Amino acid sequence: MSNWNEFLTDDKQKENFQDLNWEGSFFDYLDLIKKNPTLTRNAFQRMYDMIMSYGTHNYVEYKKNITRYKFFDDPIDNGKDAVFGLDVQLMKLVNFFKSAAYGYGTEKRVLLLHGPVGSAKSTIARLLKKGIEQYSYRPEASLYTYKWIDATGKGDPILGGATELVSPMHEEPLKLVPDEFRAKLEEELNRGNKSSYRTKITGDLNPCCRFIQKEFMKRYKGDWKKVIEQHIRVQRFVLSEKDRVGIGTFQPKDEKNQDSTELTGDINYRKIAEYGSDSDPRAFNFDGEFNIANRGVLEFIEVLKLDVAFLYDLLGASQEHKIKPKKFAQTDIDEVIIGHTNEPEFKKLQSNEFMEALRDRTVKIDVPYITKLKDEVKIYQKDFNPNRIRGVHIAPHTLEVAAMWAITTRLEQPKKANLTMMQKLKLYDGKTLQGFTEDNVKELRKEAIREGLEGISPRYIQDKISNALVSDNGGARGSLNGFMVLNELDSGLKHHALITNEEKRREYRELLAVVRQEYEDLVKNDVQRAISADEEAISALCANYIDHVKAYTQREKIRNRYTGQYEEPDERLMRSIETKIDIPESRKDDFRREIMNYIGALAIDGKTFDYRTNERLHKALEMKLFEDQKDTIKLTSLVSNVLDKATQEKIEVVKARLIKNYGYDDISATDALNFVASIFARGDMKKTS
């Protein structure tokens, strides 16, 4: 029998609990601030510092320095909410927080994440909420609030007969300091402060605590110190979305059901009888989303669907950092407000002249769809990988072609006549294309101003991959390939809720055909490489080619290994290899000299030439060997199902290479070989580019 105590007890957990529930006097708290001035940071400062605490990674793209903030890889949940391909947009987001943290003005603006459905707006907001919650557990990021207590333990009438009452908005304890003492206390707290931020005591107490403080001040005849010593305890607290402490989320309902009390709190009618008036702040529940999000972050889902009256509350909360609870004075808040919206709602905002004030106080950050293939693939790999998908093997390139199609629907048609959509996709993904420089790619991105704001969302792709995984043709057979997914994507277009334009549907189908051709080429290339993966044969072919190129460039003859006679270099052999990588007749001399110069440079450094280091030559040699060997393997016999033992053995070797070297399983390798065999049978096997 297991000793369950081993699993359910932890001394460190007890120690953490004690740290997270620290309690002390107001003056103990002042001592803590002197030791660690960052304890008094505002919500924007905490948010910025939280993001930066995870570190950064810098790289250069299109001659521009880009910073990748590691926080957006979601180290908290091992990448569950990781955001890919939006580094430039996330830089703008972090710059917003940085400016707000230093009080440069953006702390008075509504942060609006804008983009198409499924572009990671909600993910970014969720990640920020999760990040700031986890951050509050760290010792260096401790948050403190206060509670009113009755020292006698009998219950105080000022507290409604209760023995203690925690600040309903978990306010900063320094707000308890009267205005006349604040400047002097700030000066003392900032003496020796080496942090990036100065301690500032701003804002008034919430109406409930303001009322309680005034009543206690009357009792002690204005002796504030006695009030603090007798009735205030400072305590640590952590942010928690589940407990509605410091993290709020507001989702608008239909216009008839919207109620402003959801944001700013409401009267507690049960307590009116106790306190005698609905204007007594102790009879008010400060539990609206603005209230509970104080000291943390508030997310507005589909913010522009809010009723106009709500939007005015939002303006006051962002610009003045104040809210107006029913029947009470304006109340100070300290929180990051994040809204997000889709394209249709934002267009309504732009056309609504009555919302000019909101437009003027909004910082909009576009969150478009990804337009870089490798980043889009990461989204699907996160959901469809061997750790999550058991019993079904996903063939190589399957997720890649799904991502290809998604991205082509988001790209604007290239304005350059000699550039195809697939070539544009590859350029964006960092591939090189003859005749195009980094500046050209930068220009392509610059001229396509709405790229990524329209097209197919990742959600649609994820749904269709899921359908393919459980279909009879996919999951039931234990292996899923790109053709199955492409078919599922195609069939789903008939019922796609967001495509109402038949012309757009036809355009997407045409792009599917382009991607299907690309997938066919990828499969053919894998089979080709598997057939020509005989290292000894490639090395021998390479050595033969280099011998002839050397003789050609040095205007020498080469000795025939069989006859012993000296002959001219074999032009036919050299051209049979060079044409495989599109070296024209006019460029053959340059290419051959480049090869020899490269070999010579290696020799000077004491290194020997290896064909694997020259990608173009390696590819040409593989393709030449494939041409020489394909007939001996007799792939076409797979179609007729008539296999002799020797052919079967050769095909099994190729299949084993596909499995070992290229990530196929037995079923998908057989599918690939059968597909390429059918191409041979039709007699239209193309040279893979």
Residue 9 has pLDDT above 90, yes or no: no
pLDDT of residue 686: 44
| DSSP SS3 for 608 | coil
pLDDT of residue 688: 41
**Distant-in-sequence, close-in-space partners of 517: CB < 8 Å, separation ≥ 6:** none
Q: What is the mean pLDDT of residues 98-120?
A: 92
Max mean pLDDT range (324-333, 385-394, 426-435, 533-542): 324-333
| DSSP SS3 for 250 | strand
Q: What is the mean pLDDT of residues 555-584?
A: 85
Residue 630 has pLDDT above 70, yes or no: no
Q: Walk me through the domains of the chain, giving residue ranges and CATH numbers.
A: 22-368 (3.40.50.300), 531-682 (no CATH)
Distance CA 522, CA 516 (A): 10
pLDDT of residue 631: 61
Residues 596-614 pLDDT 10s: 888 888 888 888 888 777 7
- Least trusted range by pLDDT, from 29-43, 131-145, 230-244, 248-262: 248-262
Residue 77 has pLDDT above 90, yes or no: yes
Residues 23-33 pLDDT 10s: 999 999 999 99
Residues 123-181 pLDDT 10s: 999 999 999 999 999 999 999 999 999 988 888 999 988 999 999 999 999 999 999 99
Distance CA 53, CA 47 (A): 10
Note the helical H segments in 66-205.
87-101, 121-135, 179-190
Q: Which amino acid, residue 285?
A: N
Buried b (16+ CB within 10 A) or exposed e, 93-126: bbebbbbbbeeeebbebbbbbbbbebbbbbbbbb
Residues 372-384 pLDDT 10s: 999 999 999 999 9
CA-closest candidate to residue 673, choices 641, 644, 627, 628: 641
Task: Quote the crossing angle between the two packed helices 615-633 and 535-553, to the nearest 10°.
Answer: 120
More confident residue, 564 or 98: 98
pLDDT of residue 424: 92
Predicted structure pTM score: 0.84
Q: Are 459 and 372 in contact (CB under 8 A)?
A: no
Task: Quote the crossing angle between the two packed helices 398-408 and 458-470, to the nearest 10°.
Answer: 150
For the chain, the average pLDDT equals 87
- Least trusted range by pLDDT, from 371-380, 489-498, 660-669, 673-682: 673-682
The CA-based angle 56-61-65, given to 5 degrees, is: 50
